Amino acid sequence: METNVTQTDSALWTSKTDKPNPKPAVKAPTQEMDKEAFLKLLLTELKYQDPLNPVQDKEFIAQMAQFSSLEQMRNMGTTIARTASMALAGKRVKAVSEIDGLPLDGIVEAVMFKAGEAYLAVDGKVAKASSVEEVRLA
C-alpha cells in the first residue's frame, strides 16, 4: 500500500492507493445505543406492551428526555474536540506522522476533518490531532 500527501483545495490530505476490496464494508458491533436503535427499541416496547398495563406517559417522556440529554452531551463533546483541534492552527506541535509513524515537530498549517477525526497538516505531513504530544507557541 502506498500513502501520498497531496495538495487539494489549499489543504494537505493523505490518499491511500491500493486494490479495491471486493468485500462490502460491515459495521462493527458496538456497545453504544444510537438514536435509531433507541427509537426501534421504544417502538417495539410500545407495540408489545400489555394493553391492561400500558407504559405510563411519564415513563415514555422520561426515556425520551434522557436520550435527548445524552445525544446533546455527545454533540457538545464533538464540538469541543473540533474547537480544540482548530485552536492548534498556527501553533508548534510535536505529533506522530500518519504517513510513516515518525515524530513531527513543526507549525500546524491546516486542520482537516475526515470521518469525525481531526487531522493536522504539519510541515507538509499529516498527523492525527489525537497524536499530539506537545503544543507550544509558534
Q: What is the pLDDT of residues 90-115, one digit of tens each?
A: 999 999 998 888 999 999 999 999 98
Burial class (CB in 10 A: 0-12, 13-18, 19+), 89: middle
- Give the domain ranges of the chain: 60-138
SS3 62: helix
Distance CA 88, CA 119 (A): 11
Q: Is the model more confident about 8 or about 82?
A: 82
Q: Is the model more confident about 30 or about 83?
A: 83
Class of domain 60-138: mainly beta
The amino acid present at 126, given as its one-letter code, is V
pTM across the whole model: 0.56
CA angle 107/112/113 to nearest 5° reads: 145
